Amino acid sequence: MPDISHLCSAWSGSPVRLSRKIAGLAVFALAVTGFMAMMAWALLNQSPVTGKSGSTRLDKPAPEFTLPLFEGGELTLSEQSGRPVVINFWASWCAPCRVEARGLEEAWRSYRDRNVLLVGIQTQDTEADGRAYLNEFGVTYPNVIDGDGKVSVDYGVIGLPVTFFVDRDGIVVHRWVGAIDEVRLTGWIDEMVSGATPGGEAEGKNPEGFFEFK
């Protein structure tokens, strides 16, 4: 009679090995399922990057700054207390900034005699390129240079352009992320002039209207 003890031994070990393999596969499947679920949750709940730019400053005092003006001298934000201030962050290389440039200048010409200040803050750019940009678009409202980017960080700016609306008490009451159109801009300025708080959306819907910092 042949010796089949080795076959019996192999057979008796197979269920154990199979059980371990099944358990390992089950753990792996659970891990993959959990990872995919977390990814799906993150995608459904994340905010667009544009929506985050400057969002932490809303309903808070506008961060103070003293920055050099392109035309010489300095501008200090706290010295503008008592009147509405519109702050626009821009750079010469930012295509959406170029889209809104003429509208910002037109708004300045319309409201500068109504005790409204519009100030541009150039960031992540060179002074020479910024000066050429201002000349190209005939900009006459005050523009300052955020040379080291500190003020951009203080305002939570993570891309361009971004426009902040600061009321007479120095509080950031609204903001717009992306290239702002003249109708929306002047409408919100009118609300601030009348003492109201601007309302409505806070970011452009066109992804080409916002350039995220990389």
pLDDT, tens only, 98-154: 999 999 999 999 999 999 999 999 999 999 999 999 999 999 999 999 999 999 999
Query: What pLDDT is stored for residue 152 in this prediction?
Result: 95
27-31, 101-105, 139-143, 158-162: least confidently modelled range:
27-31
User: What's the CA gap between 104 and 163, in Å, rounded?
Assistant: 10
Query: What pLDDT is stored for residue 32 in this prediction?
Result: 40
CB atoms within 10 A of CB 25: 10
Handedness of CA 143, 148, 151, 157 (dihedral sign): positive
Confidence of residue 199 (pLDDT cuts 50, 70, 90): confident
Q: How far is CA 2 from CA 9, 11, 99, in A?
A: 15, 17, 91
Query: What pLDDT is stored for residue 50 in this prediction?
Result: 47
User: What's the CA gap between 52 and 15, in Å, rounded?
Assistant: 55
User: What's the CA gap between 29 and 94, in Å, rounded?
Assistant: 46
121 near 151, Cβ under 8 Å? yes
What is the rounded radius of gyration, in angstroms, for the C-alpha atoms of the chain?
Answer: 29
Which comes out higher in pLDDT, residue 49 or 87?
87
Predicted model pTM = 0.73
Query: What pLDDT is stored for residue 196 in this prediction?
Result: 87
173 near 109, Cβ under 8 Å? no
Which comes out higher in pLDDT, residue 177 or 25?
177
Mean pLDDT for the chain overall: 80
In 3D space, the residue among 151, 139, 136, 181 whose CA is nearest the CA of residue 66 turns out to be 151
∠ CA 72-61-199, rounded to 5°? 105
